[in-house]
């Protein structure tokens, strides 16, 4: 079954390479398949590395290719939500009028500050050709300050992300362990799992202190190693690369967690090896998987802190 899927992906990739015209929708679709089915793992250690290498073959940078993928995800979300208000949009491949990643991104952002029916009516008119791209950009420029103001007041704050991580326990990291029984999702209980908030870790060499917003200590099976997953939460499009590099020394895997809109905007800026998770209405989605380091430099210091927290809890 996997070989058949891979052959289909290879054929689609070949069609893109041999085409005289790059169709961003076609490219986004096949790249989503590559990511979803782990086709990249044949010769690369991460999807990000595969994407960068393949992008050179089509003369497109990794940031552009990521934009193609996320734009299609945004369109599918908008399409699903619009159906609740009586707007039945075609799947993206069947749209009569072409739509760009920029147009989709604008509608996605507008959906955070305008009433849903206003956004979907605007989408409907845009797809029907009643609104031009220029008019859409002008509309966005009017509402952009409103969105920035909402962000500055913490409506997309770190506390919302942290609460979602806390409520989801370890399930966001273990979706591939899920089983379905009678239409319900059931997660196999791990051998050990513990969630910690605001964990201070120390560099014993320079006596520097860092605070990880959250840590998930997880052991799948009793005969498997315990892995420490550190989480740094961001609520704005600002990444402190030096801080994240320091954090990686204290955990087996480091994740950046952000509200959905912020996560989609920063995914091309994530440091190599760091994972990215998106949070929206308590739902958590892994956008980029974190690389696992089995022997980080200061893991012992983290374990000491967690043991102290465990004893005093």
- 204-225 pLDDT tens trace: 888 888 889 899 999 988 888 9
Nearest to 35 by CA among 66, 80, 4: 66
Which residues share a beta bridge with 286?
277
Residue 101 scores a pLDDT above 60: yes
Give the pLDDT confidence score for residue 154 in this predicted structure: 46
- What's the confidence (pLDDT) of residue 138? 82
Return d(Cα 192, Cα 40) in angstroms, integer: 31
* Cross-strand bridge partners of residue 216: 195, 229
Percent of the chain whose pLDDT exceeds 90: 36
pLDDT at residue 265 above 90?
A: no
- Contact by Cβ (8 Å): 262, 237: yes
Mean pLDDT rounded to a whole number for the chain: 84
Band (pLDDT 50/70/90 cuts) for residue 186 is low
Would you give the DSSP letter of residue 294?
S
Dihedral angle, C-alpha 51, 264, 275, 184, nearest 10 °: -110
pLDDT bracket for residue 156 (50, 70, 90) = very low
Q: What is the pLDDT of residue 50?
A: 93
Q: Which of 96-100, 115-119, 164-168, 215-219 shows the highest mean pLDDT?
A: 215-219
Mean pLDDT of the region 117-123: 89
Which among 15-24, 119-128, 143-152 has the top mean pLDDT?
A: 119-128
The values of phi and psi at residue 94, to 5°, are -100, 5
**Sign of torsion over alpha carbons 254, 256, 257, 261:** negative
pLDDT at 2: 78
For 54, residues 6+ apart whose C-beta sits below 8 A from its C-beta are 13, 65
- Residue 161 is given by DSSP the state H
Cα-Cα-Cα-Cα dihedral of 231, 236, 241, 244, to 10°? Answer: -10
Q: How far apart are CA 73 and CA 78, in angstroms?
A: 9
The strand pair at 184-187 and 178-181 is best described as: antiparallel
Burial 124-144 (b: 16+ CB within 10 A, else e): bebbeeebeeeebeebbeeee
Distance between CA atoms of residues 84 and 115, nearest Å = 13
């Amino acid at each position: 079954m996997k070989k058949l899927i891979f052959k289909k992906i290879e054929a689609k990739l070949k069609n893109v390479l041999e085409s005289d015209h790059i169709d961003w929708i076609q490219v986004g679709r096949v790249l989503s398949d590559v990511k979803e089915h782990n086709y990249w793992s044949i010769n690369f250690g991460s999807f990000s590395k595969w994407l960068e290498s393949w992008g050179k073959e089509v003369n497109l940078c990794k940031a552009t290719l990521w934009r193609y993928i996320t734009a299609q995800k945004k369109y599918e979300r908008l399409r699903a939500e619009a159906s609740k208000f009586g707007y039945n949009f075609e799947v993206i491949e069947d749209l009569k009028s072409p739509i760009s990643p920029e147009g989709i991104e604008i509608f996605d952002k507008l959906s955070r500050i305008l009433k849903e029916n206003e956004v979907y009516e605007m989408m409907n008119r845009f797809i029907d050709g009643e609104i031009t791209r220029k008019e859409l950009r002008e509309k966005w420029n009017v509402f952009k300050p409103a969105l920035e103001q909402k962000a500055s007041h913490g409506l997309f704050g770190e506390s919302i992300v942290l609460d979602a991580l806390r409520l989801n326990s370890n399930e966001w990291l273990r979706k591939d362990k899920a089983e379905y029984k009678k239409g319900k999702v059931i997660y196999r209980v791990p051998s050990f799992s513990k969630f910690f908030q605001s964990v201070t870790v120390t560099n014993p060499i320079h006596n520097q202190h860092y605070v990880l917003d959250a840590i998930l200590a997880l052991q799948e099976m009793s005969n498997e190693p315990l892995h420490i997953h550190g989480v740094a939460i961001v609520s704005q499009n600002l990444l402190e690369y030096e801080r994240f590099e320091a954090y990686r020394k204290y955990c087996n895997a480091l994740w950046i967690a952000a509200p959905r809109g912020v996560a989609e905007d920063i995914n091309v800026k994530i440091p190599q090896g760091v994972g990215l998770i998106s949070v929206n209405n308590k739902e958590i989605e892994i956008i980029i998987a974190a690389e696992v380091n089995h022997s980080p430099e200061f893991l012992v210091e983290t374990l000491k802190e967690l043991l102290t927290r465990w004893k005093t809890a």
